[in-house]
Amino acid sequence: MHPAPSVIIFTSLSGLGFGLFAWLGLGIPDVYGWSSFAVFFIAYALSVGGLLASVFHLANKKNVIYSFSQWRTSWLSREGVMAVITLLTFAPFAIGRIFLGIDLAIFGYVGSILALITVFVTSMIYTQLKAVPRWNMPLTPVLFLLYAVSGGALMTGEQRVAGFLIAILTLVQIAAWVLGDARFTGSGTDKGSATGLGGLGKVRVFESAHTSRNYILDEMVHVIGRRHATKLRTIAALTIGLFPVVLLLMLPVGHVTSLTALASHIVGVFISRWLFFAEAEHVVGLYYSRG
């Protein structure tokens, strides 16, 4: 799949933002006034910024308002609805803490659950697609949720907790890469079933339907950069996981440690999200690929 910057930024930033909300709703960190303003500003900036980035993916933005209407069947519609409900639920909680110095805990607890549901719903936009076997597995939502809560923990300054969660995240991410590699052949879809000619013999492309590129090739048959995938996976595993884990669990607790780990982690999140799209093979590629 085409690793469009808009969807990479959307899933990365909004995941981190809602992950941070999940902790803030539990009263972690337990701050009021200006400190509270700072953490809520970051959470809103990341989640709203991510959602705005996703709008840049749309080719006909004027109809975006309709995207809240089909929550009965569409995970993308549910994502929009859940994000808005979550952001609104946190508003009284944030106002109470920033301006009134009170803890409206019930909004926080409900908001935390809603934030995690929002991340889950985001992950289902991709997980639901049978045509992209690499995404279509139960580990995808687990991965998205772990990215959110571990990134969120890192931003709240819960250094040891973050280190522990990031260690688990890294292992799950590596597992997702390995399991994902076997998904396409495991799906049972091949050139034979795509053309219905598999029973007659081995199927090869003789001539493509078109000589130039088109929307299908640009969007779903992305192959650029896949040859660097192994190197990028290694860099991602080091920056998301290994390096921050070493910093967070082995060094004394402190702002510098946390910020360095956070910077490394965010770089890793973007690399792994690029890989999430770039490495995902869509079954439509079978109509085009040689061999």
> Footprint of another protein on this chain (CB under 8 A)?
1, 57-64, 66-70, 72-77, 80, 125, 128-132, 187-189, 191, 193-197, 199-210, 212-216, 219-220, 282-284, 287
For 210, counting Cβ atoms within 10 Å of its Cβ (0-12 exposed, 13-18 middle, 19+ buried), the class is: exposed
CB of 280 to another protein, least distance (A): 10
Which DSSP category does 209 fall into? S
Residues in the chain: 291
Which DSSP category does 71 fall into? T
Q: Which is nearer to another protein, 60 or 250 (CB)?
A: 60
CB of 205 to another protein, least distance (A): 6
Residues ≥6 apart with Cβ < 8 Å to 70: 77
**Which amino acid does the sequence have at 121?**
V
Q: Which is nearer to another protein, 72 or 231 (CB)?
A: 72
For residue 192, how many other CB atoms are within 10 A of its CB?
15
236, 228 in Cβ contact below 8 A? no
For residue 11, how many other CB atoms are within 10 A of its CB?
24
What angle separates helix 159-181 from helix 139-156, to the nearest 10 degrees? Answer: 160
Q: Which is nearer to another protein, 83 or 162 (CB)?
A: 83
CB of 145 to another protein, least distance (A): 21
CB of 184 to another protein, least distance (A): 12
CB of 160 to another protein, least distance (A): 40
CB of 74 to another protein, least distance (A): 5
Q: Which is nearer to another protein, 1 or 116 (CB)?
A: 1
Residues ≥6 apart with Cβ < 8 Å to 107: 25, 89, 90, 92, 93, 96
Integer Cα distance of 145 and 149 in angstroms: 6
Q: Which is nearer to another protein, 117 or 235 (CB)?
A: 117
Q: Which is nearer to another protein, 74 or 260 (CB)?
A: 74
